[in-house]
A = this chain, B = another copy of it.
Amino acid sequence: MLTQQPRNGRAPSVKDVAAAAGVSLGTVSNVLNRPAVVSTATRERVERAMADLGFVRNESARQLRAGTSRALAYVMLDGGNPFFHDVAEGIETAAEDADLSLFVCNSSGRSEREAKHLDRLLQQRVQGILITPVDPDAPHLADLAQRGLPFVMVDRFSRAGGHCSVAVDDVLGGRIAVEHLIDRGHRRVAFVGGPSSIGQVRERLQGARAVWAEFGMPEDDLIHLPTEALTVNEGRSAGERLAGLPSRRRPTAAFCANDLLALGLLQHAVTAGLRVPDDLAIVGFDDIDFAAAAAVPLTSVRQPRQELGRTAARLVLDEATNPDHVHEQATFVPALVARASTGTVRR
């Protein structure tokens, strides 16, 4: 490691390295950035000096000179939901391939935190921003676009269209979930999810209703149980409301707007002594790892989480580097993953 410690408070700079190696500071820079142009002897001398001094490049100075950072950022909506972690991993692999760092931020669903993060990222001069926004129409997002900073919405569609976005077809997701339940013989189904200010929730419900109608089912037999958030707790409380319904109105299956709700609902059902899927079948959405890991493995509508992230990163990089970039709304097709929670056919 470092043999010499110039701990005079200040970290060693190229200048120090240059002095130690007896060369000019331009040469040190060449060793770092264009090793081919410097002679072997000099290079080795400089490299030894760097090792001895424990030299570490100062990224701010590089960045200042370069005018831009070597980083992307992802602002996620809910760090507590593993879904977003998986998306982040997809982004990170793509960022790594492009030799960029990734700053991961978490807005925790709070708009002011989101704005704060964005502000910081702007100050850092990140090359591009990926975001799953609290509110796709928030003014601070429009700001980004106006600034010309490459950014893409992840898991949300833009209505304005001044940027790229990456998401799955949520209407279709709703359709396949409910079609699966109809297939399994269910004739009274609950849709659990809310608030409807969230675009996804609306679209998944819309898909559910569409396919319900297409199969000629009575509108009233698709019951919407609204929730205040997409959390396990809310899923549990939806379970209570569901159990409170008069038995002739009580659904035999529930389609939840995401897996956290589904897990909460599952827990309530088990606690209440209901058998899943016999008394109540459950379908979730996202297919997070915990869905497969549940005591009764959850049927879920799978989103290609990592793929979503990778594509988003690809798009933001294209926008950042390609002058002919055109905005793109990448849509993925969700797929049903059938597991035990909808395992049997009702007669």
Which A residues are within 8 Å of any B CB, using their own CB? 1-2, 5, 7, 10-11, 54, 56-61, 63-64, 67, 69, 79-80, 82, 85, 88-89, 92, 101, 103-106, 108, 119-120, 122-125, 139, 142-143, 146-148, 232, 263-264, 266-267, 270-271, 289-290, 293-297, 340
Report B-chain residues with C-beta under 8 Å of the C-beta of A106. 89, 92, 104
- Answer whether A2 and B264 are a contact pair too, CB < 8 Å, given A56-B122, A295-B295: no
A290 partner residues in chain B, CB cutoff 8 A: 232, 263, 290
Could you list 14 examples of A-B contacts with CB < 8 Å?
A1-B142, A7-B148, A11-B125, A54-B147, A56-B122, A57-B123, A59-B125, A60-B64, A82-B82, A89-B106, A267-B295, A270-B295, A294-B294, A295-B296
Contact of A294 among B1, B120, B295 (CB under 8 A): B295
Shortest Cβ distance from A67 into B: residue = B10
| B124 near A59: Cβ-Cβ < 8 Å | yes
Which of A101, A267, A293 neighbours the largest number of chain B CB atoms within 10 Å of its CB?
A293
Taken together as a complex, chains A and B put the C-alpha atoms of A69 and B1 apart, in Å, by: 25
User: Considering only CB atoms, which chain B residue lies closest to A58 in the complex?
Assistant: B125
Q: How far is the CB of A151 from chain B (nearest CB, A)?
A: 15
Residues of B within 8 A of A123 (CB): 56-59
Of B80, B104, B122, the residue contacting A82 (CB under 8 A) is B80
Identify which of B7, B64, B92, B297 contacts A61 (C-beta below 8 A): B64
Interface pair A60/B57, CB less than 8 Å apart: no
CB neighbours of A103 from chain B (8 A): 103
Determine if A146 and B2 form an interchain contact, defined as CB atoms under 8 angstroms apart: yes
Distance to closest chain B CB from A75 (angstroms): 12
A122 nearest CB neighbor, chain B only: B56
Determine the distance from Cα of A147 to Cα of B148 in the docked complex, in whole angstroms: 39
Which of B64, B88, B295 contacts A64 (CB under 8 A)? B64
Residues in chain B near residue A125, CB distance under 8 A: 11, 58-60
The answer for the CA separation of A143 and B105 in the assembled complex, in Å, is 28
Whole-angstrom distance between the alpha carbons of A60 and B108 in the complex? 27
- CB nearest neighbor in B for A232: B293
Q: Which residues of chain B are within 8 angstroms of A69 by Cβ–Cβ distance?
A: 60
> In angstroms, how far is the closest chain B Cβ from the Cβ of A250?
20
With a CB–CB cut-off of 8 A, which chain B residues contact A296?
A: 270, 295
Return the chain B residue nearest A147 by Cβ: B54
Residue of B nearest to A236 (CB): B293
- Give me the 6 closest cross-chain CB pairs, A-B, nearest first: A295-B295, A60-B63, A60-B60, A59-B123, A270-B295, A232-B293
Q: How far is the CB of A15 from chain B (nearest CB, A)?
A: 14
